[in-house]
């Protein structure tokens, strides 16, 4: 089968996006792994599928596959690329787009300057939502990994995250601890791991080790998780700029019961086709 695709990125977190509305497309795990290979395939962090909705109140269904072929619930950077893709391909003329995902329903708003604001929904700090093996608590949770004791904030933003506050962002710590915590036995479905350095109440530096993909240049859900974790712990204000390796995301959260709003860019790199 000849596959047509669009290569896109959100702050360096890169994707191929496939139109499965105009034509039915199916992938198996080995095909996704081959396509994601940066030497022998196209190369990407995630594969995004644009599908017809199963819910008549939604405009599209949005499916996300990691480079290892696993399907995941949510991807914030991918959601912004999704919005740009469906407008560019004239699959819709709406600038407010309602989308169903494995992690729930989201709303995408294309705003001035080509930026996209994503309503990421209401976060959950209930350990069972991730899931995370622990009793609900108000403060930080203790987690032992790599012979060290860590203090984390577990949070679900449609997918599971463990947020650690650190004084410095070190390559070795992100790579080593990220891999250990991702697969920790207390996270039976694995977890995305965020390393957050708080600069002030309005700014953080952030690196994210993503479940099934490793560290990426930027992680939209990771930025949302880090900011809401920082607000919950009293370290951050309601509007925060997250500085990631690929660029900046702007996150707003007004507190318990309110949705997270994430604003950032989405860029098309090229269009192509490849035989599966």
Q: Is 66 annotated as ligand-binding?
A: yes
3-state secondary structure 127-167: HHHCCCCCCCCCCCEEEEECCEEEEEEEEECCCEEEEEECC
C-alpha atoms less than 13 angstroms from C-alpha of 107 in its C-beta half-sphere: 11
Q: How far apart are CA 124 and CA 107, in angstroms?
A: 18
pTM of structure = 0.90
Q: How far apart are CA 83 and CA 73, in angstroms?
A: 17
Does 127 have pLDDT greater than 90? yes
CATH of the domain spanning 2-121+265-275: 3.10.310.10
Establish whether 224 is a catalytic residue.
no
Please state, rounded to an integer, the average pLDDT across all residues of the chain.
95
CATH number assigned to the domain with residue range 127-258, chosen from the 4 options 3.40.50.720, 1.10.357.10, 3.40.190.120, 3.10.310.10: 3.10.310.10
Establish whether 219 is a catalytic residue.
yes
Q: Is 201 annotated as ligand-binding?
A: no
Marked catalytic residue, from 75, 81, 183, 224: 75
- Residue 103: its pLDDT value, please? 86
**pLDDT (average), residues 33-43:** 96
- Residue 8: its pLDDT value, please? 98
Task: Please state at what angle helix 76-88 crosses helix 220-232, rounded to 10 degrees.
Answer: 140
Give the tens place of pLDDT for each residue, 76-105: 999 999 999 999 999 999 999 999 999 889
Q: Is 159 annotated as ligand-binding?
A: yes
Start and end residues for every CATH 3.10.310.10 domain found in the chain: 2-121+265-275, 127-258
Give the tens place of pLDDT for each residue, 211-234: 988 999 999 999 999 999 999 999
- Residue 137: its pLDDT value, please? 86
């Amino acid at each position: 089968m000849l596959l047509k695709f669009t290569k896109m990125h959100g702050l360096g977190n890169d994707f191929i996006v496939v139109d499965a509305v105009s034509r039915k497309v199916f992938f198996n795990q080995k095909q996704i792994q081959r396509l994601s290979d940066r030497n022998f395939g196209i190369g990407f962090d995630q594969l995004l599928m644009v599908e017809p909705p199963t819910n008549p109140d939604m405009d599209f269904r949005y499916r996300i596959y990691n480079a290892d072929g696993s399907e995941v619930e949510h991807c914030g950077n991918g959601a912004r690329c999704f919005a740009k893709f469906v407008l560019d391909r004239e699959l819709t003329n709406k600038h407010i787009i309602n989308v169903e995902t494995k992690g729930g329903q989201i709303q995408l708003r294309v705003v001035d300057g080509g930026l996209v604001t994503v309503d990421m929904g209401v976060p959950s700090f209930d350990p069972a939502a991730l899931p995370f093996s622990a009793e609900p608590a108000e403060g930080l949770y203790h987690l032992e990994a790599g012979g060290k004791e860590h203090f984390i904030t577990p949070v679900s933003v449609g997918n599971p995250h463990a947020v650690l506050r650190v004084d410095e962002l070190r390559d070795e710590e992100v790579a080593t601890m990220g891999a250990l915590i991702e697969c920790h036995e207390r996270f039976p479905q694995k977890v995305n791991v965020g390393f957050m350095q708080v600069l002030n109440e309005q700014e953080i530096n952030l690196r994210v080790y993503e479940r099934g993909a490793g560290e990426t240049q930027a992680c939209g859900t990771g930025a949302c998780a880090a900011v809401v974790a920082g607000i919950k712990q009293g370290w951050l204000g309601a509007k925060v700029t997250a500085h990631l390796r690929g660029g900046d995301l702007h996150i707003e959260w007004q507190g318990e019961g309110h949705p997270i709003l994430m604003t950032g860019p989405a860029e098309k790199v090229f269009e192509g086709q490849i035989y599966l």
